[in-house]
């Protein structure tokens, strides 16, 4: 494990496992790099260099008052690639991390990037607007902010239910997995958690998606209760020149069980292609 220091002095924590072509993972809100541990180990065991960072304000990275915005998140990710001098990197982003990856390409291009994987990712735009009627209404995100503000410990516990689809009749989500979600969520700073809601919900990534010029694999569950597929992958895939979409029937937002196993196999296949 290591750290880099950004231009504004923020320390960003990252994991760096294995050797080979780099695969860089960006996590969802309100989690941290640990959310990708299974995939980090998987790709490292298959001959890749697996890297994942804690977004500023999250996990073991610094919690600055300023910079909790998508442009800065993207610049931090680009800074990680530059600091480690990564070449031909594959970027993998989940949820908010997908937005971070897409905005990083929009601002910094694909000079160091060979492929992109977007899992349950927020682009092109989560918020419902006149031009994006499939999105979620503003009060859905107001409820998230209120949960973070009022009693975040209980809020994160309850959020793990729709995150993993534990409210579905056939779900088999373990208490341990929900506890791990809570533990990671409690490591994000209160200010960063609150600010990040606006960033993943109101940022329009349409122009960033159009700038992606490398093969891109969209993966999304059609029972995703956090980032509904209708306003996300089903629209975003048409904005990227060389993109494919795989829909996982009945799958939730968070990876676990058979859904995780199927995604892991698809990830390895895409990396090798």
Instruction: Read off the pLDDT of each residue in 11-35 and give the average, rounded to a whole number.
Output: 98
Catalytically annotated residues: 95, 224, 253
**Closest by Cα among 7, 59, 5 to 36:** 59
CA 112 to CA 135: how far, in whole Å? 32
CA angle 93, 96, 101 (to 5 degrees): 45
CA 145 to CA 56: how far, in whole Å? 18
**Per-residue model confidence (pLDDT) at position 103:** 98
Quickly count: other Cβ atoms within 10 Å of residue 195's Cβ: 18
The region, left, alpha or beta by phi > 0 then psi within -120 to 50, assigned to residue 204 is beta
The 3-class SS string of 128-184 reads: CCCCCCCCECHHHHHHHHHHHHHHHHHHHHHHHHHHCCCCCCCCCCCHHHHHHHHHH
CA 136 to CA 127: how far, in whole Å? 5
How many residues belong to the chain? 273
Quickly count: other Cβ atoms within 10 Å of residue 192's Cβ: 23
Instruction: State percent of the chain over pLDDT 90.
Output: 99
Residue holding tokens 């029937």?
249
Instruction: Read off the pLDDT of each residue in 52-72 and give the average, rounded to a whole number.
Output: 97
pLDDT per position as a tens digit, 70-109: 999 999 999 999 999 999 999 999 999 999 999 999 999 9
What does pTM read for this prediction? Answer: 0.97
| CA dihedral (11, 32, 237, 84) positive or negative | positive
**Which domains occur in the chain, in start order?**
2-272 (3.40.50.1820)
Instruction: Read off the pLDDT of each residue in 155-170 and give the average, rounded to a whole number.
Output: 96
Report whether pLDDT(212) > 80.
Answer: yes
pLDDT per position as a tens digit, 214-261: 999 999 999 999 999 999 999 999 999 999 999 999 999 999 999 999
Mean pLDDT across the chain: 97
**Phi and psi of 224, rounded to 5°?**
-75, 115
* Confidence tier at 1 by pLDDT (50, 70, 90): confident
pLDDT per position as a tens digit, 116-152: 999 999 999 999 999 999 999 999 999 999 999 999 9
């Amino acid at each position: 494990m290591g750290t880099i220091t950004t231009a504004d002095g923020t320390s960003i924590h990252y994991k760096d496992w294995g050797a080979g072509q780099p695969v860089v993972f960006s996590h969802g809100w309100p989690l941290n790099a640990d959310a990708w541990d299974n995939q980090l180990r998987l790709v490292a065991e298959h001959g890749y260099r697996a890297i994942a960072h804690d977004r500023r304000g999250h996990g073991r990275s610094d919690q600055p008052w300023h910079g909790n915005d998508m442009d800065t998140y993207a610049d931090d990710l680009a800074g990680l690639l530059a600091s480690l001098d990564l070449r031909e990197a594959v970027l993998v982003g989940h949820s908010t991390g997908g937005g971070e990856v897409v905005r990083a390409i929009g601002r910094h291009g694909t000079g160091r990037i060979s492929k992109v994987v977007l899992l349950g990712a927020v682009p092109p735009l989560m918020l419902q607007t006149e031009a994006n009627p499939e999105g979620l209404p503003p009060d859905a995100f107001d409820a998230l902010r209120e949960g973070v503000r009022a009693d975040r410990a209980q809020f994160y516990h309850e959020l793990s239910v729709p995150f993993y689809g534990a409210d579905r009749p056939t779900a088999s989500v373990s208490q341990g997995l929900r506890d791990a979600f809570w533990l990671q969520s409690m490591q994000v700073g209160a200010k960063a958690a609150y600010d990040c809601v606006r960033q993943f919900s109101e940022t329009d990534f349409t122009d960033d998606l159009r700038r992606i010029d490398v093969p891109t694999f969209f993966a999304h569950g059609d029972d995703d209760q956090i980032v509904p597929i209708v306003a996300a992958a089903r629209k975003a895939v048409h904005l990227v020149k060389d993109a494919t979409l795989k829909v996982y029937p009945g799958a939730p937002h968070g990876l676990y069980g058979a859904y995780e196993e199927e995604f892991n196999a698809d990830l390895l296949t895409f990396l090798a292609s």
